Chain A
Amino acid sequence: MAEEKKLKVVKVAKAEKAPKVANAVEASIDKATQEMILRAQELGIETVFDRAVTMKPCNIGMQGTCCKNCAMGPCRLPLPKGGIEGEDTRKGLCGATANTIAARNFIRMVAGGAAAHSDHGRCVAEVFMSVARKESHDYQIKDPDKLLRIAPHFDVATTVEVDGEVKDRELDEIVLEVAEKALGEWGKAEGELYYLKRAPEALYEKWKKYGVLPRNIDREIVEIMHRTHMGVDQDYKNLIKQGTRAAIADGWGGSMLATDLQDVLFGKPYPIQSEANLGVMKEDHVNIIVHGHEPVLSEMIVAAVQSKEMVEYAKSKGAKGIQLSGICCTANEILQRHGIPPAATFLQQELAIITGACDAMVVDIQCIFQNLANVAKCFHTKLITTHPIAKMEQDNVIHIEFDEHHAMEDATRIVKMAIDNFGNRGAEVMIPRHKSSQVAGFGVESIEYHLGGTFRGTFYTLNDNIINGRIRGIAGVVGCNNARTRHNEAHIQVVKELIKNDVIVLTTGCNGIACAMEGLLTPEAAAVYCGPGLAEVCETVGIPPVLHLGSCVDNSRILLAATEVVKAGGLGKDISDLPAAGSAPEWMSEKAISIGHYFVSSGVYTIFGYMMPTSGAPVFHDYLSKELEKMYGGMWDLEPDPIKHAQKMIAHIDKKRVALGIDKARERVLMDMADRQALEA
């Protein structure tokens, strides 16, 4: 310990001589972020932006060809600079080829991502079960309509026949049966996941044909860990097949279950007005920031901060009120359902504390920097971990374990702690004055409603405008930030290029927050940034050109929206027929790989904007694009330049438009008497 401390001191001393820190303007396109990076540097506080300058990524790891799955390694198989001509003779000690190693590493990332989403889903399912069993009083079924919509997918009856008369079944019974069947999805012994049949039939048949129908969620993840163990599966094609199965278990399983059960418990989202960026924090308010991914806790915190008791308590401590805001997908969850503004994207998390105005940051799981604890040390901020599986080693971190059986009690305790901390602020508060308006809260159901109202709501309205060419296609642009790229630059440039070319964008995760910060989630953005066709449609429906669908588990909403588009007709029979593409311009997490792969396996052309950890194994790398496209209709691609990246998506969309025969202007069909009489009954 003593030596470590010494080293640190030496390092700091060196840094003082020639401090190598990030250039704020090069690090981010966002004004608030730039100001706060400078502020951090002024205060001598190191952030992720600075570390990205001082520490370079491992080149072999980036290529995906470092194998550390056994103690004979790590075996490193870098691709020579000039590539390989002739036979690729690279081998690990056991003989594992670059393809095997890259494929093993790749599907382990899928396993990591799928595990993260699905464990989140499991947690929600467990809360759902406790509600079903009436063991939790703070949660309830807020959205019975959603429950009735999903029940049939679990083969759960919503009606009963009593003496020959069909009646509505007791809600409690439905809840319990859905809860049992849903929880079973993680570990049932037989069969396949219920939700697979929600996919277009053609897609389901493809999965069946290629043997990738997931059996249960946990099993597919475990099987990846087994198959990638030393000396098991050593055929990249067979490895990626299991990766596909696990990814589907994420997108059409764990993530979709998380989304659905959250909607039943907390309400499905409807369009709602809000704001975004660090400027949503208020100097004269108690600022509480929730950060992480699960809405289970944050829902309770929303309720607690809105309670009269807590507001009064805050006032009694000299604050004008309580300002709750969010970071990452927790932010998106409570944004979608309550309009609580997101204060920051993934990369801005340290900066939120550096404002000096964050009285408590409450974190649960995923995407939480350990460095938050170091930053919090420099301020009065209470950093509170709440999840038994996510703790931090630093001693200033407070752990308050959240228990759904005492949810409100725990939430109130946390809020109270933040209020009590309000008075401990130092003088150095600096909140950047940057924030933007946004409209968020889109989901499959609310989009359908807004495309025609109570009586005529249908995705066909969207299809019709795709067919007539006003809208060129649909893009899902999602994912993280990555300190290896300029913060938000690729997100914004890709999205702007797409909407300029009349491609409507569905967003989730940190891309959603980035777009909100840039003002792209306002209806007014349509007239400013869109091509004439998309602008006209946005104006007609009254929507922003970029629709925020929620958190990263809510990528399942994009899958279902795509399915609804297929079902509405006129654009083919499968998701792969649609003029659509997916993108993660600034990806960084394993979850992004899992999401990317379930989109590819669902037939979506998916392009990433920062390296692919497969480039060191060209054969496997190519397989992910060319061969997968032949099987599922979707493929992986990579393009770091944001404009080219967007143009590749547009090229794919145009290719699909040609295949559908909608690349030419639609004729106005005038019905004469014979046409009218020929109308099918």
Chain B
Amino acid sequence: MSKLVAFAAIQGGYKVVSAAEGELRNALESFDASSKIEFPNTGYYLPVIYSLTGMKVETLEDLKKPLEFARGLLPPHVKGKNHLPYLGPLLDAGMAAIFSYEILEALRILREPDFYLSQEDPDIEAGKIWVGPADDVILRKRGVEFVDGSAPGFAAIVGAAPNPEIAKMIVEDYQKKNLYIFCAASHNGTSVIEQLIEAGVQIGWNTRIVPFGPDISSAVFAVGFANRAAMAFGGVQPGDYRKMLMYNKERIFAFVNALGDIGTEWGTAAAGCVNWGFPTLADTDIPEILPTGICTYEHVVANVSHDEICQRSVEIRGLKVTVSEINIPCSFGPAFEGERVRGADLYCQMGGGKSQATELVKMAEMKDIEDAKVEVVGPDIGDVQQGGTLPLGIYVQVAGREMQTDFEPILERQIHHLINYIQGIMHIGQRDIAWIRVGKGALEKGFTLKDIGVVLHAKFHQDFGKILDKVQVTLYTNKDEVDNLTKRAKNEYKFRDERVEKMTDEDVETYYSCTLCQSFAPTHVCSVSPERTGLCGAYNWMDCKASFEINPTGPNQPIEKGECLDPKLGQWKGINEFVNKASRGAVTHYNLYSLIHDPMTTCGCCECIAAMLPACNGVMTVSRDYTGETPCGMKFTTLAGVMGGGASSPGFVGHSKFNITQGKFILGDGGLLRMVWMPKNLKEEIKERIMKRGADMGVPDLYDKIADETVGTTEEEILAFLQEKGHPAINMDSLVG
């Protein structure tokens, strides 16, 4: 039976390569050979071709070489009797097809630059339902989820289910399992994506349902995404095809679900995916390939019923997904985090300016609270008319032998995403500016406010069981009680902020390491101090401390900073020893407060990258959500590519957004007063803190002196601006001296 698969897939390989050759010929007739070929806003050229062969495609002309390579991979057709072995040839044909699919997609983008809507969510009203290749902002944001394991992998679904209900059932099952769902191709004139839209399911990166494209060739974006993640976070070098594919086999738990009739073009794509160790499960009667080897377990499994396809897929890929079984009427999981409740879907809301909504987590004595007690004090949403509002106070009390008041804000911060995990509920903001929107769908399923308490109780126990023993949740919906809680909460927030804000690196003897991303970036080691939060922006010193208490053998380990070797640049003996060991000798030392002299290493996950601008005697920084050019001559993606290998690169350093206004931010090089350029959005995002920090450093109008892209994106353009505004960096000591 495998022979039939081989026969079809090899035939498919020929078909696809020929199609790409035809398209390339056509393109060369109507476009100049030097026309630019790219997936917009992505690094790594055409990523599958680049990652596996090292060939850089930048122009139309450049496509010839990889296409010739693909043609060369095509094996002889499989003969009827006494045939030659076909497994290797079959995989080669599949790879040839995948290269060709990538070329076909690149040509499509050349012909129709607006075919794909390059953003997280499609614009369904405008008919732009396909998002195409994920740009680097999405890659980095989502890549982190692959790093920390919150997204174990993806289901690549091609074709269409028999009806929209089945499509919805399958996809929601994957969402509950935290997997991404990458969709492409159609069957019987429709696609899973169109079926989901019809069934009212929100699609887009935010709900992990990614509408890549309408054709089977669009499925190439899925493997392209996987390979880009391996290059960005895994340090896999372009051209090292064996390592690349093994990385995917071992770490990226992905598989293909083929819904509908499998022709040669699907077959050859499936064969190509086997090279990655991604198996195919089909709902049709096709020949199976059960022996293991290239994939971890089975390669092709057929006739899978729609009820079972999710469970079987996950098993066949060798993946264990723990679905949080929480006793609420709605589905629950990270995949629903990014889901929105739009106006038309809204049933009622709490907070967001319409009413007060406040959240507070407080430590309690063991004897004072009752575990699992969830109480709604006041009316519930069933008592509210459609379109109505309620005030809300979420008061969580936790107790435990290991609990400390320091952990209160950490637990409190979980509330945002935990409520968002509930399907049909949207949560925005935090503290006393929270905003909860309840969708009609959730209400129909029977959602009540009590379910928020149920979720918080269950997840706090699940995720923080080591530090707490009891969780009690009270939900106030009467105005007076909410106001009381808010008043009390405000005092708490003030106290907490001052404690953290005031904490300096000198106050503590222990910093924390963070090796959370080491499974993806082997030599990178973050050192987190009170005045230098983790460069991903997700972990500050207090978080690391709590994380260590919660999980003493986990990725956050205490480092005794030891003897201070350089107070200005921020170098300690203990830190150096730890870094040397944790990087296995790759990095012997670094400075926490400098980007000029032996700066800290950078992984692929950093929020911002700062770079030296010698002509301006200052530095710039760029955040990953800014896709334009910068004065250092490199876009964020290019910078991240240069920096992301876990090496210390003088002149560049990765950092978090929050770190920009922390006291020790590149203090050895002159601190925030060196900052001469930032993207406008970033600047506005942290405006107040820049103003405050500027004032503290003696330059109250620093904010207005920092250039952004509206001023210019070259050093010459911004230098004039700096001189005009009298930016403090101009007159500081020479940066490089």
Contact = CB atoms under 8 A, between A and B. Distances in A.
11 contacts: A439-B84, A451-B87, A456-B245, A456-B275, A539-B2, A540-B289, A542-B87, A543-B85, A669-B318, A672-B322, A676-B251
Contacts of B519: 676-679, 681
B522 A681 contact: yes
Contact of B92 (A454, A461, A462, A676): A454
Contacts of A128: none
B144 interface: no
A531 interface: no
Interface in B638-661: none
Contact of B91 (A273, A455, A462): A455
A452 B290 CA distance: 15
A-side binding surface: helix, strand, loop or mixed?
mixed
A438 B86 contact: no
A421 interface: no
A524 interface: yes
Interface residues of B, number: 50
A452 B94 CA distance: 12
Interface string A452-470: 1111110011101100101
A473 to B, nearest CB: 16
Interface string B1-13: 1110010000000
B294 interface: yes
Q: How large is the interface on A (under 10, 10 to 19, 20 to 34, 35 or more residues)?
A: 35 or more
A461 B292 CA distance: 7
Nearest to A519: B82
B83 A523 contact: yes
A668 B322 contact: no
Interface in A425-469: 437-439, 449-457, 460-462, 464-465, 468
B320 interface: yes
B88 A454 contact: yes
Shortest beta-carbon contacts, A-B, top 7: A453-B91, A461-B293, A681-B522, A670-B320, A542-B86, A453-B88, A672-B320
B27 interface: no
Most buried by B among A449, A453, A539, A671: A453
B250 interface: yes
Contacts of A539: 1-3
Nearest to A464: B293
B88 A451 contact: yes
A465 B298 CA distance: 11
A670 B177 CA distance: 14
B55 interface: no
A1 interface: no
A670 B322 contact: no
Nearest to A670: B320
A671 B152 CA distance: 9
Contacts of B241: 455
Contact of A542 (B85, B251, B275, B322): B85
A271 interface: yes
B490 interface: no
Interface string B233-265: 000000001100100001101000000000000
A536 interface: yes
A348 to B, nearest CB: 22
Interface in B64-79: 73, 78-79
Contacts of B1: 539
Interface in B282-328: 289-294, 297, 299, 314-315, 318-322
Contact of B292 (A453, A457, A468, A541): A468
B494 interface: no
Nearest to B82: A437
B265 to A, nearest CB: 19
B149 interface: yes
Contacts of B315: 668, 670
Contacts of A16: none
A496 to B, nearest CB: 19
A671 B241 CA distance: 24
B152 A676 contact: yes
A675 interface: yes
A675 B322 CA distance: 12
B224 interface: no
B3 A676 contact: no
Contact of A456 (B242, B253, B318, B555): B242
A679 to B, nearest CB: 5
A428 to B, nearest CB: 33
A676 B149 contact: yes
Contact of B81 (A437, A460, A470, A678): A437
A670 B289 CA distance: 20
